Structures are given as structure tokens and as C-alpha cells.
Amino acid sequence: MKQNSCKVNEKKTIPGINACKGSILPINPGYKLMAKRNFIDNDKFNELMTHIYAYEGGFSDKKSDLGGRTNFGVTQSTFDYYNKKYNFPLKDVKDITYDEADNVYYKLFYNRSNVNEIDDPLLSLMHFDAAINHGPMNAKKFLKQSGGDVNKYYELRLNHYRKQAQNVEGQNLNYNGWLNRLNKIKSLQDLID
């Protein structure tokens, strides 16, 4: 897939940020990024995680969230699956560490959705985020249907969220949060090109 030219309009350049030069994406002034971690030996993954952790907060156990108990965006069921698959002891997701969360994201979402095969920085983030929110198989389906066009990918995800909010009981309560997260990713497009 083609990579964006990553030319940043001088008026939109954020002090201290050198967009797409030494990093995948510029910082969106609409949210605070976590400091880049280097626990996983993969620069692209580490850069994307600074954005993912901006959306994925600490521990949550909302009744309206189908994922249930969640910490750093990792659900209890996903953490249990990961621990069983890799022969680690089961433990409460409330006690997950960033290192464990990085491993879960890397092995279960980043690798399975083939993010490493995407050159375009914004499409990489959109796709990785989709793998986390919709599952790697749905993310691959969105990527194929979009033909690698970020705007089409955005629309596919938006439609998926709308259907989920309308058709799954109680999920309309989460719609604004999903939309906010998706729009923050899409707004990075204004800082690139």
C-alpha cells in the first residue's frame, strides 16, 4: 500500500514534533500520548501504542461495556486467553502491567491483523485500532473492503459502530465514545499531507 508523503503544513506543525520523520504520526493536540515504550522490539508497534494508550485508560468495569472488566484496553477474557495460550498463570486484569498489555496487543492484535504490512501511517493506526475494537478478522475485512483508502476504512468502521449501537442492547450508551475515538484518529489526517 502506498505511504502518505507526510508533508506537514507549517501552520499545523506542533512545536517539538517532526511528523513522519522518526515517528509514524504527528501528535494530535486533541489528546495526550503516553511516552513511547520500547518493551517490544518493533518501532512501528511502539509508536502506534503511544496512540492506542491515549484511548485505552486504566481499569474499567462498566455494565454497558460488552468487554466487561478491562484494564489498559485489555479485557479479562482476552487476558485469560493470552495467559492460557502462552502458559502464564491466570490473574485479574486489574493487575495487568504495561509490559503484559504490550505483549497482548502485539501477539493477539498487531501480528494477527498484519499491521506490519501497511506502509501508510494513518491507515496503520486505523487498522490496528480496528483490530483492537472489532477483532483482527473484522479489521482485515475492513482493510480489504476499503482497498487501503483511509476514508473508506473510516466509513466502514463508523457504519459498524452505528449498527452495533442500534442492534445490540445497551450499546447505544457507548456510541459517542466510539465515535470520539474514531474521529481522533481520523483528525490526524489534517496534520499529514
Per-residue pLDDT reduced to its tens digit, 138-150: 999 999 999 999 9
Kindly report each contact of residues 66-75 with a partner whose C-beta sits within 8 Å and lies 24 or more positions away, as own/partner: 66/168, 66/171, 69/93, 69/94, 71/96, 71/101, 72/96, 72/98, 72/101, 73/101, 73/105, 73/132, 74/100, 74/101, 74/104, 74/105
Query: How far is residue 49's CA from residue 38's CA, in Å, rounded to a whole number?
Result: 10
Q: Model pTM?
A: 0.80
**pLDDT beneath 70: ranges in the chain:** 1-33, 64-67, 167-175, 190-193
The pLDDT, as a whole number, for residue 1 is 35
The pLDDT, as a whole number, for residue 100 is 96
Chain segment 94-121, per-residue pLDDT in tens? 999 999 999 999 999 999 999 999 999 9
Query: How far is residue 182's CA from residue 169's CA, in Å, rounded to a whole number?
Result: 21
